[in-house]
Structure 1
Amino acid sequence: MRNLAGVIAVAVALAGLAACGGKSGSAAPSGPVTLRLGYFPNLTHATAVVGVKKNFFAERLGGKVKLDTKTFNAGPEAVEALFSGAVDATYIGPNPTVNAWQKSKGQAVRVVAGAASGGAAFVVKPGITTPEQLKGKKIASPQLGNTQDVALRYWLKQHGLNTTKEGGGDVAILPQANPDTVTAFGTGAIDGAWVPEPYASRLVKAGGKVLVDERDLWPGGRFVVTNLLVSTKFLKAHPDVVKNLIAGQVDANDFINANPAEAQQVVNAALGELSGKAPDPAQTADAWKTLTFLNDPIAPSLRDGAKHAEEVGLLQPVDLTGIYDLGPLNAVLKARGEQEVRA
C-alpha cells in the first residue's frame, strides 16, 4: 500500500508539471510539436513581429514546441501555404480569411484572434484630388483579392469607377509586391496605390499624398486589418499550442501598447532584415499613429468586408457562421482579468 501511494504521488506530481508550459498557467503539449507560423513584413503585422523577436511566442509555447516562421507578401499567398500545410497558422487580412473560409466550405480554417486595426491608405500623385481624376490611371494593390485590393475596388465602385480582375475598366489595378509598388511609384509607372504601412508612408515620402485614410471609411475608425487564422486540423490536434500562441500574442500586444517607442525599434529592425531595407524611424512613428493593436477581431468589419468583396465580383455570397473560435482567446483574457471579446 505504501508503494502504491508513492506511485500515485509521483503520478500526480508529474501531471501537475505537465500542465505547466512556458509561463505559469499555460498548457503544454504532450510531445514535441512544430508550429509553423506565417506573417507579413508590414507594420500591420507588428504583433507577430514583436511576438517573434521579443520571444513572447516562444516563452508561452514552451520547450516542447518549435516555432518555425515564414513571411508572405499578401494574404492569398499565405492562404495557399495554409491549405498546402506549409504553415499551421498565419497572421492575415480579413478578405483572404473569408476567401479561405469559402474555398474550404467552412472546414479548413478558424479565426482565433484579432491583431490590429487601421494602418492602410490610398496614396496618389499630388495632382489627383478627386475620384473622377482617377479614370484612366494605373493604381497598384498588394495582390488580387487581398484586403487592400478589395478596399480599393469597392471604394472606386462607390465613386462610379469600374475595374476588372484583368486590370481593365475605368481604373487599371495592377497587383504587385509592396516593395515593387514603391519603386513603380517613384518611376511614374503607377499613379498611386492602396497599401498597408509602412508602404503608404514610403509612397508619401516618394512624393505622394494620402487621398483616403481607410480609417475614415469605418465606424469609429476601427476595422480589422490583421487577424490570426489557424488551420482547423492543427487547432483540433493541438488546442493547447494554439492557446499558448494566443497568450504570446496578448503579451506582445500588451508590450506594444505599453512601449510604443521600443516596439517601433524592434519592428523597424526586423523589417530591415526581412525586406533588406529598414523603414525610416520618422515614417514608422507617423504610421504608428494610424494603427491600433488589439486582440478583438472586430467581427462586424470582417462581415462588411466580405460584402464589399461580393459587390466587386471577387467573392460569391458566403455564410460566415462558425468562422470564429474565440474560446481559447477568451480563456486567456479571462485568466488575465481582461474583458472577453465577441464574434
Structure 2
Amino acid sequence: MSSFRRTLAAVAALLALTSATACGSDAEASGQTKELRYQGSVGLVTLPELAADLGYLGDVKLKWIGNVTGGPQDIQATATGQSDFGGAFNGAIVKLATANAPITAVVSYYGSDAQTFQGYYVVDDSPIRTARDLIGKKVGMNTLGAHAEAVLKIWLARNGLSPAEIAQVELVAIPPVNSEQSLRQRQIDVAVLGGVIRDKAVANGGVRTIFTDYELLGAFSGGSYVFRDDFLKRNPDTVKTFVSGVGRAIEWARSQPRETVVARLEAIIAKRGRNEDPALVRYWKSSGVAGKGGLISDREFTTWIDWLADTGELKGDKPKPGDIYTNKYNSFASGGGAA
C-alpha cells in the first residue's frame, strides 16, 4: 500500500471527526480566528513565514506545530484538522480532493523556472543517461505519490517506456536533507533534488542531471496551499489576509536582490530558535512560482488531472480545476496586492 493511499485512507477515516472537532474550535470563538497552525520545514523558510516576518499578515499570527517532509502528509494534516493550512504538489491535491476531502487550494507556493527546478541527478560516473537506463534502478525522492513521482513517470512514458517497464523503476522515499548523501554513497541510483538542496549538491560537484521538470514542462507553479472548506466559510477575511500576504511575499522576493532575500531568510531562521543549520537558504534563487502573487491557473491542475486519468488513478469523470482551486481570496486577482 503506497504512502499516498495510506494518506487517503486516513483522511477518509478522520473526516467525520474533523467536522465535529472543527466546529468546537473555531465556531465557539468570537469572530474569525487570527491564529493559523501550520507545519514547517527543517532549515528552510516557508513563504507564510517570510510573509509574517515582512509584516504582510497583519493581525494574523502563525503557530508552528512541527515540521513535515512531504506535501501529502502536510495536506492530510489540514484535511483532518490537525493544522489550518498545508501545502502540496497540485497532483496530490487532486487525489485528495477526488477522495472527497473538503479542501480547496488558494495560492501557489512553489514551482519551476530557469533558476529553481527539480532535477533528477546521478553521480558523474553513473552509467545512467537515458530513460531506459532507469529500469531496475532506485530513484530517491522526498515523498511518494507527489510531484517527483508524477514528473518522473511522465518523462519515462514520453521516452517510450511501457507501464510494465515503468513499474520496474524502484521509488524510494528519502528526507530531502539526506538525498545528496544517499546519492553519493550510492544507496540510490538517482536523487531528485530541488531548490536550495539541489543548488548545494551542484556546488559540491560530482553530480549531473538526467533531466529536469523545467525542461520537461516549462515554467509552472507546482504546488498550492490548501484550507478546509469549513475553515474558509468561517474565516474568509483571515484567509484573504493570509493568501494576499503570501502573494506579497512572493513578489517581494521576486523584486529584491538575491542577497537581500537570503539575508532575510537567514535572520528568520536565527530568530525562531529551532536549532537549525541555515546553510541551505544561502543557495536560494527564487520561489519558482509562475503566477503573479501566487495566482493559480487551470493549467497547473489540468496537467496532473490528465496524467492521473491516463494512469487510471482517477475513476469516473475528470474533476474540473475550478472545483479544486480558487483565486478569490488573492488580492492580486483584481489587480491589487500592493496594499
Flag structure 1 segments of 5+ consecutive residues without an equivalent: 1-28, 339-343
Q: Secondary structure at the match of 1:69?
A: strand
With 326-335 and 85-94 compared, the bigger mean Cα shift is at: 326-335
Q: 1:250-329 to 2 correspondence within 5 Å?
A: 250-259=247-256, 260-268=258-266, 276-279=276-279, 283-285=283-285, 288=286, 294=292, 295-316=294-315, 318-320=318-320, 321-329=322-330
Counterpart of 1:77 in structure 2 is: 73
- Partners of 1:280 and 1:80 in 2: CA distance: 26
The answer to whether structure 1 residue 241 and structure 2 residue 242 are counterparts is: no
1:102 deviates by 1.0
Identity %: 17
Which residue pairs with 1:125 in the alignment?
123
Q: Is the 8 A contact 2:248 2:337 kept in 1?
A: no
1:198 match: secondary structure = helix
1:97 to 89, 93, 99: 93
Question: What letter corresponds to residue 324 of structure 2 in structure 1?
Answer: I
1:225 paired with 2:222, answer: yes
Aligned counterpart, 1:116: 110
Q: What is the Cα deviation at residue 307 of structure 1? A: 2.0
Match of 1:183 among 165, 176, 181: 181
Counterpart of 1:22 in structure 2 is: none
- Please give the secondary structure, in 1, of the residue aligned with 2:335: helix
Provide Cα deviations, 1:22-74, integer angstroms capped at 9, x if missing partner.
Answer: xxxxxxx835543223454587x7523422443422x2xx1xx4421343211
Per-residue CA deviation, residues 231-280 of structure 1 (Å, 9 max, x unaligned), is 11110010010011112112211210121322223335656876833335
Is the CA contact (8 Å cut-off) linking 1:121 and 1:200 kept in structure 2? yes
**5+ residue gaps in structure 2?**
1-29
CA distance in 1, matches of 2:108, 2:43: 16
Task: Count matched residues.
Answer: 296
Structure 2 counterparts to residues 125-204 of structure 1, below 5 A: 125-126=123-124, 127=126, 128-161=128-161, 169-204=167-202
**Where does residue 68 of structure 1 map in the other structure?**
63
CA RMSD after TM alignment: 3.2
Q: Is the 8 A contact 2:220 2:289 kept in 1?
A: no
CA shift, 1:108, in A, is 0.7
C-alpha distance in structure 2 between counterparts of 1:224 and 1:185, whole Å: 27
Confirm or deny: 8 A CA contact 1:110 1:231 kept in the other structure: yes
The superposition leaves residues 134-182 of structure 1 with CA deviations (integer Å, 9 ceiling, x where unpaired) of 2221111211111112111222232234678xx9933211122212222
Query: 1:290/1:325 Cα in 2 relative to 1: closer, same or farther (>3 Å)?
Result: closer
Amino acid at match of 2:88: I
The alpha-carbon deviation at position 211 of structure 1 amounts to: 1.7
Q: Distance in 1 between matches of 2:194 and 2:309?
A: 22
Note if contact 1:39-1:90 (Cα within 8 Å) is conserved in structure 2.
Answer: no
Aligned equivalents of 2:159, 2:275: Cα separation in 1? 35
What does the per-residue CA deviation read over 1:85-143, in whole Å, with 9 as the maximum and x for residues that have no partner? 01111232212211221112xx6111112233202221122232222222221111211
Q: Please identify, of 305-314 and 145-154, the stretch whose mean Cα deviation from structure 2 is larger.
A: 305-314
CA gap 1:102/1:41 in 2 versus in 1, 3 angstroms: farther
TM-score normalised over the length of structure 1:
0.74
CA–CA distance in 1 between the matches of 2:266 and 2:209? Answer: 22
What's the TM-score, normalizing by structure 2?
Answer: 0.75
Asked if the contact 1:122/1:195 (under 8 Å) is kept, the reply is yes
Question: Which has the larger Rg?
Answer: 1
